[in-house]
Amino acid sequence: MIAARSKRRLRRWSVGVLAMVMTFLLAPAGMARAADATPVPVPPNTGLTDKGAGAVTAADRDFVIKVRLAGLWEIPAGNMAIEKSEDPRVVNIGRTISQQHVVLDKLDIAVAKKLGIALPNQPNSDQQGWLNEMKNSSSSETFNQVYIDRLRAAHGKIFPAIATIRASTRNDSVRKLAQQANQFVMTHMTLLESSGIVDYGSLPTAPAPAAAAGGPVPVDNQMLAAAGAGGVPGVNTSVILLVLAGALIAGVITTMRIFRTR
């Protein structure tokens, strides 16, 4: 009688333990799915001031001028896309980029005025050549390819330059402009690539990495996360959980066998 009750209690205890184990194992998967659904964060403006405070370098001045030059040719190029392209995707891309450069141009002019930087009023010779190439395109298809490839290449060149200024400038107004320009350029690159006709093979390749120099040892993000959580770098948390769960289940089964033999 007592043995029967003990066996029933053991079964109930075993079922409860197994249920907790399964819940424990499934919880990380649920959290991972929730994390996947999190939208990409948009960097806030917190901490970015626009008082014109801080030294202005030659690189800063060159950056402000280049932002202006970008608008001077990309606005008319976008207007040409609206007029010359027969592809609704390219028309929409041209309209959007043109309109957004009007906004960025106003931001750039305000910074230049604040810092006393003289801005050009005409595209440079290369940019004018690209505009002429678009203007002289004999068909919608030819125009589309020229427009998409020239703008995508130009955005690819300015993208790393913006990152350098954003990371190094001492001037708060230039820093904020670089932050804003980065958002515009990333958006425009994505829009241009959405056309589906970018000739990636014609884009310049990245330079070879420089030889590793002395200095602080880079810290891997996985190492930081593991250290913060008390884990072990390079060991997957799911693997650890499975091993622990397997050991617990094996213990339960062994205990049940012992009781059955009594």
**DSSP per-residue string spanning 43-85:** PP-TT---S--S---HHHHHHHHHHHHHHHHHHHHHHHHHHH-
Span 57-78, pLDDT tens digits: 999 999 999 999 999 999 999 9
Q: In the predicted model, what is the mean pLDDT of residues 243-262?
A: 57
Amino acid at 229: A
Amino acid at 158: I
Report pLDDT for 210: 78
Query: Could you tell me which residues come within 8 angstroms of residue 143 by beta carbon, excluding any fewer than 6 positions away?
Result: 80, 81, 84, 85, 134, 137
Q: Can you give the length of the chain in residues?
A: 262
> Residue 194 and residue 206: Cα distance in Å, rounded?
22
Closest CA relative to residue 186, chosen from 152, 219, 212: 152
Span 48-62, pLDDT tens digits: 999 999 999 999 999
Task: Please report the domains of the chain, with CATH numbers, ordered by start residue.
Answer: 58-201 (1.20.1260.10)
pLDDT at 106 over 80: yes
**N-term to C-term CA, the chain:** 13
Span 136-187, pLDDT tens digits: 999 999 999 999 999 999 999 999 999 999 999 999 999 999 999 999 999 9
Instruction: Show the tokens assigned to 7.
Output: 């066996």
Q: In the predicted model, what is the mean pLDDT of residues 217-227?
A: 53
**Ramachandran area for residue 11 (φ above 0: left; ψ -120 to 50: alpha; else beta):** alpha
Going 51 to 52 to 53 to 59, the CA torsion angle's sign is positive
Span 231-246, pLDDT tens digits: 444 445 555 556 555 6
With cut-offs at 50, 70 and 90, classify the pLDDT of residue 47: confident
Residue of 113 and 43 predicted with greater confidence: 113
Report pLDDT for 122: 97
With cut-offs at 50, 70 and 90, classify the pLDDT of residue 250: low
Going 47 to 49 to 53 to 56, the CA torsion angle's sign is positive
Report pLDDT for 231: 47
Instruction: Show the tokens assigned to 139.
Output: 């068909």
Its pTM stands at: 0.67
> Residue 2 and residue 237: Cα distance in Å, rounded?
42
Give yes or no for a contact between 212 and 218, defined as CB atoms under 8 angstroms apart: no
With residue 205 as reference, give the H or E element that holds it.
none
